[in-house]
Amino acid sequence: MRHVSGYSLLAALMVAAAPVVTLSAAQAEPGGCLKYGAAGAVGGHLVNHGVLGAVGGCATGMYKRHEYRKEAKQKAALYDKEHPGAKGSYEEKATAYDVEHSTQPRKSAPSDGATPDGGAPSHN
């Protein structure tokens, strides 16, 4: 049995993961457990802690996706207030809310809650 060096294993993993990264680039949601876990495993492998890196990456991915969905549901609720009876999923409503409240044509609104003039958001 031949010994496989870490660099050749890493190169093979990157080649195998390239189509997955390319196909999921058009997806709107952040990666989640698999994508972040794979990146964490590669990073952890480089410092001899592949499993620990995978677990940390998975947890980070789940948290990022949770935060994204929570923000999208909040935007969908705001869209429903402005457009009662609107149909569509919460992702579609969140995107429509971003488009309607964009400060630049054909771009989504910033998700940090800042107003277009750079001031703090108003709280009613």
Please report the pLDDT score of residue 102 as a whole number: 81
The pLDDT mean for the chain works out to 76
Residue 3: the pLDDT is: 53
Rounded-to-integer distance, Cα 81 and Cα 64, Å: 26
Percent of the chain with pLDDT over 90: 40
Q: Which residues contact 102 (CB under 8 A, 6 or more apart)?
A: 108, 109
Global pTM? 0.58
Rounded to a whole number, what is the largest CA-CA distance in the chain?
A: 70
Closest C-alpha to 37, from 53, 15, 16: 53
**For residue 110, what pLDDT band results from cuts at 50, 70 and 90?**
low
pLDDT, tens digit, 9 for 90 and up, residues 12-65: 556 555 555 444 444 567 888 999 999 999 999 999 999 999 999 999 999 999
